[in-house]
A = this chain, B = another copy of it.
Amino acid sequence: MNNFRSPVADQRFVIHQVLDAPRALADLPPHADTGAEIIDAILEEGGRFCDEVIAPLYQPGDAGCTFKDGEVTAPAGFKEAYLAFALAGWSGATAPPEEGGQGLPYVVDAALKEQINGANMPWGNFPLLGHGAIEALRQQGQDWQKQVFLKPLVEGIWTGTMCLTEPHCGTDLGLLKTKAEPVGDDRYAISGQKIFITAGEHDFTDNIIHLVLARLPDAPAGVRGISLFVVPKFKVDRDGSVGERNAVWCGSIEHKMGLHGSATCVMNFDGAEGYLVGQPHKGLSAMFIMMNSARLGVGIQGLGLTERAWQNALAYANDRLQMRAPEGARYPERPADPLIVHPDIRRMLLTCRAFAEGGRVLALFACLHEDLAAHATSDEQRQQADTVVGFLTPIVKGLLTEAGVECAYHAQQVFGGHGYIAEWGMEQLARDVRITTLYEGTTQIQALDLIGRKTLLANGAGLKLMLTRIGEFCRLEAENPAVIDLLPALADRAEQWRKLTAGIGAKAADDPALAPAIAYDYLFYSGYVLLAWCWAQRVAAAERSELPAAFKRAQRETANFYFQRLLPRCDQHAAIIANGAAPVTALSDEDIGASL
């Protein structure tokens, strides 16, 4: 009912023909030998694992995890699939070989993540969300911590968590209360309650490594008083030997809207033994390391579920017979025409396709820049790539998760009443994708990050780089008949983007509410312009290729659909930005709710 095939061929098209990634990777020392064939083989193999092993577990997995006496049991088959995944080395895809990883480029790993999330996003949360823990340990861990924890985490022998949220604080970590008391010998006793901990408890592996934000006794109030600790479920000595059970316990799992196959745990730390990671009171920077890694990953969850929505809506629209086409029967031999003849069904299908295929370019472009930021040979290249990643992260997270929510909605509409029924699977998709705009920073937080830290505070560095890229594309393709009709609109929107940003920048200092008041609309305006560029790139790449004519037609017309039907959303966002902050700030806090 609810099927998924990893979009391997389209991923290859994006990586090779749209982004020309192998050429860029060839200049990066660790990836100099990662040729096109290796990339293709990995994508094929990953796709096979996802389609054959984890996709069939998606719908049954909605039965959910169970919790009993502090133990969590995942849905049937999840553990076996995890072990197969780890054994095949997928767990440490991007980690360097010396840590036990495969040393794959981030851009290839991102494509694998899309496959995993499209096939079975709740399952994917077990191996995927621990990557933030690995990053934090790698960048800020003490030597012994790296030696002891990294390899088992990379190899998937252990899994990792990020323990940030507490019942009274999520976004505002400055309020967190979990305490860390030094108990000598560089050890700390961690006490407090953390909630919403993905994969906080399970029986997949012998140990679980929690990265925990907590306060030292002498900590200043607020975010400048947060420190990071590594707290294993079973204590681990400096020589790597595993000792007794630590005082960290899963108190319950949440009853959630969806994502039932993923255990979302309340974790109680009762004086659990932990070890400081990085400097005292500098946990916030470690938190950002974990977060940024996770945010791109969640954006890719949105992408994977968009692809799944598109595939299923398309199949149903071809299968289900209902009414006749506007011009009269298009399939007179059948009792009715398939849904796909109806213009508004086509609108919803093409919207899904536009977000899936356009979003794929955007996400993989961002992740290719993770590779450049890590390994480009010049400081300037690394710096620029890092700026691009930072700028695009809230857009990929915000836009692609909201697109996922929207496309799951469309898939349900295409299925009609059956879209509401469990056995058809679209409602699970809608429930599962709904978490993506909430966790790892809501869309609101992404919007604030984009307009604030990533734009105004950065003097528009990221925006300028992206506008330069778009400008180069327009110049380069100015004579290309395949995209010539798209370029004026793309160039206009890009120029309007620049002006909108400059306008906000000019007023933001005098009006502190302005940027947060239009942040949401700025995020979407930005995202839609970028997707327009992505679609123009897809068309140009397809036309240059030897790919089938039907694919080229589909690319051209889906791009046209995007420009005619989705890009106009920029109009309302621009109008709203022009209207400034007053519409949301005029009322006092009390008057907003002044009812009769």
Contacts and interface: CB of A to CB of B under 8 A. Distances in A.
A417 B430 contact: no
Contacts of A350: 583-584, 587, 592
B344 A516 contact: yes
Contacts of A67: none
19 contacts: A170-B416, A171-B416, A256-B422, A257-B430, A314-B592, A314-B593, A326-B512, A327-B512, A340-B592, A344-B447, A346-B592, A413-B437, A551-B596, A561-B583, A561-B584, A564-B576, A565-B579, A568-B571, A571-B575
Contacts of A431: 257, 431
A367 to B, nearest CB: 20
Given A327-B512, A513-B343, A420 B444 contact: no
A274 interface: no
A10 interface: yes
A256 B10 contact: no
Given A10-B595, A256-B422, A439-B417, A172 B344 contact: no
Given A564-B576, A590-B550, A584 B413 contact: no
Contacts of A509: none
A293 interface: no
A380 to B, nearest CB: 34
Interface stretch (A178-186, A317-325, A463-471): A317-325
A100 interface: no
Interface string A538-556: 0000000001101101100
A36 interface: no
A84 interface: no
Contacts of A413: 437-438, 442-444
Interface residues of A, number: 108
Contacts of A557: 583, 586-587, 591
A530 B344 CA distance: 23
- Complex A-B, nearest 9 residue pairs according to Cβ-Cβ distance, in ascending order: A9-B596, A257-B427, A343-B517, A550-B594, A568-B575, A255-B422, A564-B583, A571-B571, A554-B594
B170 A444 contact: no
Interface string A419-439: 111110001001100110111
Interface of A: 7, 9-10, 12-13, 165, 168-172, 174-175, 196, 254-259, 314, 318, 321-323, 326-327, 330, 335-336, 338, 340-347, 349-350, 353, 405, 409, 412-413, 416-417, 419-423, 427, 430-431, 434-435, 437-439, 442-444, 447-448, 512-513, 515-517, 519-520, 547-548, 550-551, 553-554, 557-558, 560-561, 564-565, 568-572, 575-576, 579, 581-587, 589-596
B583 A444 contact: no
Interface centre among A314, A345, A569, A576 (most CB of B within 10 A): A576
B435 A420 contact: yes
Q: Is the interface of A mostly helix, strand, loop or mixed?
A: helix
Given A170-B417, A318-B589, A565-B579, 14 more contacts: A254-B420, A326-B513, A343-B519, A343-B581, A344-B448, A346-B592, A349-B593, A350-B592, A420-B434, A554-B591, A564-B579, A568-B571, A569-B572, A571-B571
Contacts of A447: 344
A564 B68 CA distance: 52
A417 B198 CA distance: 12
B438 A420 contact: yes
A489 to B, nearest CB: 11
Interface centre among A340, A419, A554 (most CB of B within 10 A): A554
A7 B340 contact: no
A314 B591 CA distance: 11
Contact of A584 (B336, B347, B517, B587): B347
A558 B196 CA distance: 35
A13 B595 CA distance: 11
A343 B585 contact: yes
A414 to B, nearest CB: 9
Interface centre among A254, A413, A584 (most CB of B within 10 A): A584
A536 to B, nearest CB: 16
Contacts of A437: 413
Contacts of A314: 592-593
Contacts of A409: 405
Nearest to A439: B417
Contacts of A551: 594-596
Contacts of A570: 572
A170 B572 contact: no
Contacts of A554: 587, 591-595
A416 B430 contact: no
Nearest to A168: B321
B422 A257 contact: yes
B175 A336 contact: yes
Contact of A571 (B169, B444, B572, B587): B572
